[in-house]
Amino acid sequence: QAGPAERRVPGGFSLRPALVSVVTLDNLRQGLGRGRRLIVDARAPDRFRGENETLDAVGGHIPGAANRFFRDNLAADGRFKPAEQLREDWLRVAAGRAPAELVMQCGSGVTACHNLLALAVAGLDGAALYPGSWSEWSAQPGAPVAVGS
């Protein structure tokens, strides 16, 4: 190492959760059909409709869910759309619901986070994540499944 060692200055650190809330399978089951929360599925439309399930044993989606393919958050250059455009898009998806009434899911909980980030860029923080997503839901014996749009 050349030269004198750099003196490190202590800094501040505030621990806070990365997400406002995480929703479990039981939470979803309890609220299903009550209209309180909107589940938003980030998978490709063909997987959402149950036409092309490549990963899980059952195709389709959670009844009552809306589909917002995560790539719809991106402009033609592959970057996020401008914040105002994302806001308009997501307000349309939310259909009058506040962000805290939205639950993001996908196949396994990964691309749902893309939708959460898009909501944050749009200034619409507060949505929840269902990390088990379609893989967990569809693996439950007797779980209701919807197909089509």
Q: Which residues are catalytic?
A: 106
Tell me: the pLDDT tens digits for 17-70? 665 689 999 988 887 777 779 999 999 999 999 999 988 989 999 999 999 999
Please tell me the predicted confidence (pLDDT) of residue 19.
55
Q: How far apart are CA 108 and CA 51, in angstroms?
A: 18
Q: For domain 21-46+60-138, give the fold.
A: Oxidized Rhodanese; domain 1 (3.40.250)
Please tell me the predicted confidence (pLDDT) of residue 20.
61
Q: Which amino acid, one-letter code, is at 31?
A: G
Report the C-alpha dihedral over residues 103, 75, 146, 26, rounded to 10 degrees: -20
Please tell me the predicted confidence (pLDDT) of residue 62.
96
Please tell me the predicted confidence (pLDDT) of residue 36.
78
Q: What are phi and psi of 115, to 5 degrees?
A: -65, -40
Please tell me the predicted confidence (pLDDT) of residue 17.
65
Please tell me the predicted confidence (pLDDT) of residue 147.
97
Please tell me the predicted confidence (pLDDT) of residue 86.
99
Tell me: the pLDDT tens digits for 89-136? 999 999 999 999 999 999 999 999 999 999 999 999 999 999 999 999
Question: Within a 10 A sphere around the Cβ of 28, how many other Cβ atoms?
Answer: 21
